Amino acid sequence: MGWNARYDSKLGIIRSVYAGPVSASDFKDGTIKTIALQKDHNTYLICIDLSNLEPAVSTLDIYAMPEFYDEVSAIRRSELAIVLPPSGQIREDVRFWETVCRNRGWDVRTFADNPEATTWLLRDKNFDTPGGDDDSSAPDQSLSLGASIRREE
């Protein structure tokens, strides 16, 4: 299906969603656009929802991603909260990616759902609730590639 990345102005975080079969190239494109959003909005907090991701990358692709982050000058002080797929090999692959990233000095944590991930990102902030700005229709703050990703609420 593709990916979408947008800035949540209420909470000051970037929200990315990857769904369906997503290739290593898609992940790289999403990373580059996320870096651009970080620079535009001066934020280091990123929530990446992989809960509807389908396996489409190899173990070698997963292992190589942190090296790619260095190549494109990803911001090292970023904090990445990852929403895991519900089960299966893809969930284990994401946990492997988390381990590879952490071993290379990236601050990455995995979570079961968006509220838990958002709470971790905002742990040092003074917000009453981690609800955020769920209006993904703000075109001036949203970057996407591939098909639109439907939100099911």
Sheet holding 13-21, edge to edge: 107-111, 79-83, 45-54, 13-21, 2-8, 142-146
Contact 54/20 with Cβ under 8 angstroms? yes
Beta bridge partners of 49: 17, 83
Question: What is the pLDDT at residue 30?
Answer: 94
Instruction: Report which of residues 133 and 93 the model is more confident about.
Output: 93
Per-residue pLDDT, averaged over 65-70, amounts to 94
Task: Give the amino acid at 94.
Answer: V
Question: What is the pLDDT at residue 126?
Answer: 66
Closest CA to 74 of 117, 99, 104: 104
Which contiguous run of DSSP H or E holds residue 137?
Answer: none
Per-residue pLDDT, averaged over 73-90, amounts to 93
Report all structural domains of the chain as residue ranges with CATH numbers, in order of start. 2-124 (3.30.750.24)
**Is 41's pLDDT higher than 70?**
yes
Percentage of residues of the chain with pLDDT beyond 70: 81
